[in-house]
Amino acid sequence: MVKNNLGHAAFCAIVTVIISFPILGLNLEARGVNITLTGASTSTYVAILVAAATVFVFQTFRDSLMGLLRKAPKLNPISRKQPMERSRRVKLESWIITGIVIFALFWPFFVSRGSVDLATLVLIYIMLALGLNVVVGLAGLLDLGYVAFYAVGAYTFALLSEYMNISFWMALPIGALLAGITGMILGFPVLRLRGDYLAIVTLGFGEIIRILLNNWTSLTGGPNGIGGIPDPTLFGMEFGRRVKVEGNTSFHETFGIAYSGEHKVIFLYLIALVLAVITALIIRRFMRMPVGRAWEALREDEIAARSLGLSRTAVKLSAFTIGAFFAGFAGTVFASKQGFISPESFVFLESAIILAIVVLGGMGSQLGVILAAIAVTILPELAREFSEYRMLIFGAAMVLMMVWRPQGLLPMRRTHIKLNRQE
Amino acid sequence: MLEVQNLSMRFGGLLAVDQVSLDVQEQEIVSIIGPNGAGKTTVFNCMSGFYKPTGGKIIFKGKEIQGRPDYKISRLGMVRTFQHVRLFTRLSVVENLLVAQHRHLNTNMLAGLIGTRNYREREQRALDRAAYWLERVGLLELANRDAGNLAYGQQRRLEIARCMVTEPSLLMLDEPAAGLNPAETKELNQLIVSLKEAYNVSVVLIEHDMSLVMDISDRINVISQGCPLASGTPEEIRQNDDVIKAYLGEA
Ligand SMILES: Nc1ncnc2c1ncn2[C@@H]1O[C@H](COP(=O)(O)OP(=O)(O)OP(=O)(O)O)[C@@H](O)[C@H]1O
Ligand SMILES: [Mg+2]
């Protein structure tokens, strides 16, 4: 087996050299007006050779190494235990989830402002990933332009507040609805497409929306973005030091406490938490309703689904619309959190990251997607020192995951349905 | 109840179905037989709306349905199985049957989110109907398995159950006995007859297993290379010279 790999391994090593040598081994240096080509230091060449050798060794022993990796879950002590009885497991799970939500409610009062801010971002990604999970995980429609709906939600709030002074709470449903409608409209032309073709067209739609926002300068401010987006209020109480909108009161004065910038951050976090929980609950409900089963049926076999009377148009559009709706939700929260948005925040990389979260978590699995959203948002922050290598680490993690657990962190489990024997 | 008149289907230069006619009455089992590639499945695909026929008429319950989209035709009460089983493999067995009952369910999303009484009642009825048919085809114990993990014969039966929960008036079976062992074929035989007798369903059957066809069909249509060759009762077909020649010629 090792012998068979030798040729392949040599090829991979050569490719490594061919790719890395021009990038790392050659430098363009500006000397006055001229640009000259110089070689890099010897240590760089050594590094390239070491890398090539590593690739060679890895590819040679690939099969046995991958075999070891696949065995990795067996090291996990619980995997050997008998699976728990179903009713007990369901009960335990719901207790754990309730516990986590309660913990999440009180946690921000004991930690730093930065952590709460990051947690809010995590919650926004959870909403996005749960929404995309409907489209990709359940309905099986590979959407690479999902960030467009996030942008629609964010820009709706930004524009409404700028031009019409509309508050966060009014903008939240409007933003989500508009995003949902956009999802439906963009869904029409791609009804007949699937797989790669669908991916490319949705990718295009995502870019179109971003470019539109970038160039419609008179309305959106173009690349300069829109600033001064208001914070949410609590029953007409503002969280700023001074009241900005007439008729509102200020939170710290009403309660007679000292002003603190943290109140606002915590409040936003709590809003995001509540919205994320609502998103998860609604989508979970959808999954057990006729529409959710229809999404999955269409993913499994479109021809069979149609032969049973399911309309492809209705099922696909509902998936696109509902997925986009929750992206709009997330977008509104994001705009409020940042206070400033520009097309920069809605690039393709965002779509890719949200998709990565869904795939890592396990297509269709809500708990998995939530875990993955936490991991993907927090890990890069913890590894700040390596921030230059962020994408590298991210890519490597994706590759490892797909080898180790192609079905995702927590693959979707079907709900048990109890039937009564009929006579 | 179903009448197919001079149905033709052309794929580019190939005339796969040429002027085929057949009719099905209430509570009747009508078979379509013919050598491989004769165009039997293509006839089904035209009837179920999967292809748009290039010629001819299909009249179901007094309505012309040729060229209508497939999901509308099935909602009229005309459903089919496939030559190569098409289940929703990663859905559980019972979920396969729930999906099929879409048109009996309250699909109003708001009603579902709130869980109105009407929604819950219909959902329960769908579950009961699913349980009934699972019991009927001997799959009740496996209701929460993934459909893709069933044995082949069980998958075939599940596909039939999935059609029956839609409460059709016409069932189209494309080679239901293919890949079944003799015991399973016998069960299938009894199941099809009971569908007709106990549930008032008419059946159009495509099948290569001659003993099954001769045993349960009320009438048989033979097609060969897209053209109608003969039609009549099993007795007539058995004695038809053209049919004997076509089948002997093939063998
Ligand atoms: N979509 C299509 N495009 C082109 N040709 C097709 C198409 N579908 C079927 N055909 C051709 O039509 C002819 C009839 O095929 P069909 O599948 O209806 O035969 P059949 O009688 O069901 O055969 P079998 O007993 O093997 O299932 C074949 O020659 C087939 O190649
Ligand atoms: Mg066929």
Tens digit of pLDDT for each residue in B187-240? 999 999 999 999 999 999 999 998 999 999 999 999 989 999 989 999 888 888
Instruction: Test A414 with B131 for CB contact under 8 angstroms.
Output: no
pLDDT the model gives residue A22: 81
Q: Write B14-19 long-range contacts (CB < 8 A, 24+).
A: B15/B226, B16/B42, B16/B226, B17/B42, B17/B43, B17/B46, B17/B53, B17/B223, B17/B226, B18/B226, B18/B227, B19/B55, B19/B56, B19/B227, B19/B228
Closest by CA position to A128, among listed A117, A143, A112, A113 = A143
Percentage of chain B exceeding pLDDT 70: 98
Cross-sheet strand order for the sheet of B202-206: B78-80, B170-174, B202-206, B29-33, B219-224, B227-232
For B51, the token pair is 């292809």
Residue of B nearest to A364 (CA): B90
Q: Is the pLDDT of residue B5 over 60?
A: yes
Instruction: Test B87 with A286 for CB contact under 8 angstroms.
Output: no
Once rounded to an integer, what is the mean pLDDT over residues B101-123?
A: 85
Lowest-pLDDT choice from A276-280, A370-374, A385-389, B174-178: A385-389
pLDDT the model gives residue A132: 96
Residue B209 beta carbon below 6 angstroms from any ligand 1 atom: no
pLDDT the model gives residue A72: 64
Closest by CA position to A232, among listed A113, A141, A339 = A339
Chain A within 8 Å of B192 (Cβ-Cβ)? no
Once rounded to an integer, what is the mean pLDDT over residues A207-236?
A: 85
Selected residue with higher pLDDT from A288 and A247: A288
Instruction: Test A310 with B99 for CB contact under 8 angstroms.
Output: yes
pLDDT the model gives residue A60: 84
Domains and CATH numbers, chain A: 2-63 (no CATH), 97-404 (1.10.3470)
**Which ligand is closest in space to the CA of residue B45?**
1
What are the pLDDT digits (tens) for A5-37?
Answer: 788 888 888 888 888 888 877 777 777 778 777
> Looking at ligand 1, which atom is closest to the CA of residue B39?
18
| Distance between CA atoms of residues A396 and A297, nearest Å | 33
| Chain A residues 321-350 with a CB less than 8 Å from chain B | none
pLDDT the model gives residue A31: 77
Chain A within 8 Å of B152 (Cβ-Cβ)? no
Q: Which of B88, B158, B159, B162 should one mutate to test binding to chain A, selecting the residue with the greatest count of A CBs within 10 A?
A: B88
C-beta of residue B144 within 8 angstroms of C-beta of residue B165 = no
Q: Which residues of B touch A290 (CB under 8 A)?
A: 98-99, 102, 105-107, 112
For A56, the token pair is 């060679």
Once rounded to an integer, what is the mean pLDDT over residues A228-250?
A: 72
Selected residue with higher pLDDT from A1 and B66: B66
C-beta of residue B203 within 8 angstroms of C-beta of residue B26 = no
Chain B within 8 Å of A139 (Cβ-Cβ)? no
* Tally of CA atoms within 13 A in the half-sphere of B159 that contains its CB: 31
pLDDT the model gives residue A58: 86
Q: Is the pLDDT of residue A232 over 80?
A: no
pLDDT the model gives residue A81: 59
pLDDT the model gives residue B251: 46
Chain A within 8 Å of B149 (Cβ-Cβ)? no
Q: Which residue of B69, B80, B128 is in closest CB contact with A422?
A: B128
Residue B42 beta carbon below 6 angstroms from any ligand 1 atom: yes
Report residue B110 CA to chain centroid gap: 34
> Looking at ligand 1, which atom is closest to the CA of residue B44?
18
Instruction: Test B88 with A304 for CB contact under 8 angstroms.
Output: yes
| Chain A residues 108-137 with a CB less than 8 Å from chain B | none
| Distance between CA atoms of residues A377 and A331, nearest Å | 16
Domains and CATH numbers, chain B: 1-77+168-251 (3.40.50.300), 87-166 (no CATH)
Q: What pLDDT band is residue A310 in, cutting at 50, 70 and 90?
A: very high
Residue B45 beta carbon below 6 angstroms from any ligand 1 atom: no
Residue B11 beta carbon below 6 angstroms from any ligand 1 atom: yes
What are the pLDDT digits (tens) for B15-66?
Answer: 999 999 999 999 999 999 998 899 999 999 999 999 999 999 999 999 999 9
Instruction: Test A304 with B82 for CB contact under 8 angstroms.
Output: yes
| Distance between CA atoms of residues A71 and A132, nearest Å | 31
What are the pLDDT digits (tens) for B63-80?
Answer: 999 989 999 999 999 999
Q: Which residues of A touch B88 (CB under 8 A)?
A: 296-297, 300-301, 304-305
A408: Cβ contacts below 8 Å, ≥ 6 apart: A359, A360, A361, A362, A363, A365, A368, A372, A401
- Taking one residue from A and the other from B, the number of pairs with CB-CB distance under 8 angstroms is 119
What are the pLDDT digits (tens) for A96-128?
Answer: 888 888 888 888 888 888 889 899 999 999 999
Q: Is the pLDDT of residue A181 over 70?
A: yes
Q: Which of B9, B10, B11 has the most ligand 1 atoms within 8 A of CB, as the residue to mutate?
A: B11
> Looking at ligand 1, which atom is closest to the CA of residue B34?
21
Please name every residue paired with A35 in a beta bridge, in sequence order, or none if there are none.
Answer: A30
Write the DSSP assignment of chain B as a string of letters.
-EEEEEEEEEETTEEEEEEEEEEE-TT-EEEEE-STTSSHHHHHHHHTTSS--SEEEEEETTEE-TT--HHHHHHTTEEE--SS----TTSBHHHHHHHHTGGGS---HHHHHHT-HHHHHHHHHHHHHHHHHHHHTT-GGGTTSBGGGS-HHHHHHHHHHHHHTT--SEEEEESTTTT--HHHHHHHHHHHHHHHHHH--EEEEE-S-HHHHHHH-SEEEEEETTEEEEEE-HHHHHH-HHHHHHHHHH-
Report the gap between the CA of A288 and the closest CA in chain B (Å).
9
Interhelix angle A290-300/A261-287, rounded to 10 degrees, is: 70
| Distance between CA atoms of residues B224 and B245, nearest Å | 11
Report the gap between the CA of B140 and the closest CA in chain A (Å).
8
Indicate the average pLDDT of chain B: 91
Once rounded to an integer, what is the mean pLDDT over residues B89-106?
A: 90
pLDDT the model gives residue A98: 87
> Looking at ligand 1, which atom is closest to the CA of residue B38?
21
| Chain A residues 282-321 with a CB less than 8 Å from chain B | 282, 285-286, 289-291, 293-294, 296-297, 300-301, 303-312, 318
| Distance between CA atoms of residues B18 and B56, nearest Å | 10
Instruction: Test B95 with A308 for CB contact under 8 angstroms.
Output: no
Percentage of chain A exceeding pLDDT 70: 91
pLDDT the model gives residue A82: 62
| Distance between CA atoms of residues A308 and B101, nearest Å | 8
Once rounded to an integer, what is the mean pLDDT over residues B102-121?
A: 84
Q: Which residues of B touch A416 (CB under 8 A)?
A: 144
Residue type, B208: H
Instruction: Test A290 with B112 for CB contact under 8 angstroms.
Output: yes
Strands B55-60 and B227-232: unpaired
pLDDT the model gives residue B240: 84
Residue B14 beta carbon below 6 angstroms from any ligand 1 atom: yes
Q: Is the pLDDT of residue A222 over 80?
A: yes
Report the gap between the CA of B63 and the closest CA in chain A (Å).
17
pLDDT the model gives residue B82: 95
Lowest-pLDDT choice from A41-55, A199-213, A269-283: A41-55
Cα(B225) to ligand 2 centroid in Å equals 12
pLDDT the model gives residue A126: 95
Indicate the average pLDDT of chain A: 85
